[in-house]
Amino acid sequence: MKTSVASLEKAEAGGGPVGAGSQTLMRGLDLIEAVSHEMLTLSELAKRLDLTKSTTHRLLSALVDRGYLAFTPRAGYRLGPKLLLLGTLAQAQADLVQVARPWLEELAAATEDTVHLGVLDGDHALYLDKVPGRRRINISSRVGDRQPLTSTGLGKALMVDHSPAYWRERFVADQAEGAPKADQAVWEERMAGYAAAGRAFDLEENEDQIRCVAAPIRDARGVIVGAISVSSAAQYMSDERMTELTDDVRGVAGSISRELGFEPLAA
């Protein structure tokens, strides 16, 4: 059923019912899909979506401003450069999951613990994949979760190439947004050690009684494009075992990186 023009315009004016924002979002997506196969003019788009020209123009202008659409005078609207970027990023993420999956399964089997794969998503760690371990442990993470960078092993591994200034900025922001409380001086000292070691720990900072060892994944440019972690209950993750797991986790991260084209410098 089509949303009436009147209700949509009321929603855009801020007086719509609950769900009005979603209706506007869906109209924007409809416009993107409409020009995915051919360039269309304002009049053609308004007719196709059963909207007034003024409403269509407002939506199109917003999409052009954000780069999702582009406009050519006397020709019409087409897909914009932002979609090219997002498509490239989506492809890279899909490739990362596909390349990493066998390695994650092998690492989970060898350690008997849960293995995660994540990427940097804005200022959060986005979990792309999870392979459960054999131990009867409930780890609350889910694929699609976005977690604080500063309290998760994955997040810290994703940040090891960032500057100390960024670390401090992110720590303060995460604390303000409700991340588990931590001592900033201790946290920064640990981050410096993690960066030097090429791996990171989660010492029950994100989830009570859960610890993990994480390491970054790099692409052909040497840029960090993801990270993996091995997580388990604290009773199975003594300081000694975390140290022992470091080489395994870094080794698997390195194997995934090499499949993505990364060539480490000779020692």
pLDDT in tens, 136-192: 887 878 898 899 999 999 999 999 999 999 999 999 999 999 888 999 999 999 999
Residue 1, pLDDT score: 33
pLDDT at 229 over 90: yes
Query: pLDDT > 90: what percent of the chain?
Result: 68
- Report pTM: 0.68
Task: Find the range with the poorest average confidence among 116-120, 138-142, 193-197, 226-230.
Answer: 138-142
Q: Which residue has the tokens 């140290």?
A: 243
Confidence of residue 22 (pLDDT cuts 50, 70, 90): confident
Distance CA 154, CA 124 (A): 10
**In this structure, what is the dihedral angle of CA atoms 171, 174, 178, 183, given to the nearest 10 degrees?**
-10
Residue 206, pLDDT score: 84
Q: What is the CB neighbour count within 10 angstroms for residue 2? A: 8
pLDDT at 88 over 90: no
Q: Which residues on neighbouring strands pair with residue 115, listed in sequence order?
A: 131, 230
Task: Give yes or no for a contact between 188 and 172, defined as CB atoms under 8 angstroms apart.
Answer: no
Query: pLDDT > 70: what percent of the chain?
Result: 90
β 114-121/124-131 pair status: antiparallel
